[in-house]
């Protein structure tokens, strides 16, 4: 269901984008769970992949993966929030606004509402920003969070040691 999920569908996810940008994906049929031993709790879907000669997004795989992962990181929020995770905190607002303008995307769309054309625009705009500032591509918001946590812990430890 997730691989073949259409734009706007509840099952639309990172997996949908990553499969559909490389292949035409078609749900062929479902096999009921009772056909297997031991019986699983779910039914099984058979999906047919037809590789595309030219991918729908013509950018490096790692770049596409990073953009799609960030967008779906906060899948129930507006896409603005997920896209902002691509950028360091001090540049976040300006660059998020810029990428949305370059890609011509409404910031209040949810990730599941973004079409393949939207993702193509996002990846192209992100590539342009990374070409202007190569450090952007190596930026990882999780590392920024980890460093903040370590710094906060060090501060707490130094306060405790001063009190003793």
Q: What is the pLDDT of residues 83-100, one digit of tens each?
A: 999 999 999 999 999 999
- CA distances from residue 130 to 48, 63, 80, 105, 124 in whole angstroms, order as listed: 35, 10, 18, 19, 10
| Better-scored residue on pLDDT, 40 or 94 | 94
- Average pLDDT score, the chain: 91
In 3D, which of 99, 71, 92 has the Cα closest to residue 83? 71
The pTM (predicted TM-score) of the whole model is 0.84
% residues pLDDT > 90 (the chain) = 70
Asked whether the beta carbons of 107 and 80 are under 8 A apart, the reply is yes
Domains of the chain are: 61-149 (1.10.8.100)
Rg (alpha carbons) of the chain, rounded to whole number: 20
């Amino acid at each position: 269901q997730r691989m073949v999920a259409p734009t706007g569908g509840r099952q639309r996810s990172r997996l949908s984008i990553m499969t559909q940008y490389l292949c035409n994906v078609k749900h062929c049929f479902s096999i009921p769970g009772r056909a297997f031993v031991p019986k699983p709790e779910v039914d099984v879907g058979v999906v047919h992949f037809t590789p595309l000669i030219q991918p729908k997004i013509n950018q490096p795989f790692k770049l596409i993966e990073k953009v799609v992962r960030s967008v779906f990181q906060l899948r129930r929020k507006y896409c603005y929030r997920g896209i902002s995770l691509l950028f360091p905190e001090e540049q976040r607002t300006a660059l998020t606004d810029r990428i949305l303008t370059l890609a011509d995307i409404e910031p209040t769309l949810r990730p599941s509402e973004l079409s393949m054309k939207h993702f193509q625009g996002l990846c192209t705009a992100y590539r342009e920003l990374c070409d202007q500032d190569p450090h952007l591509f190596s930026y990882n918001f999780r590392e920024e969070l980890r460093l903040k946590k370590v710094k906060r812990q060090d501060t707490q430890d130094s306060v405790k040691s001063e009190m003793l």
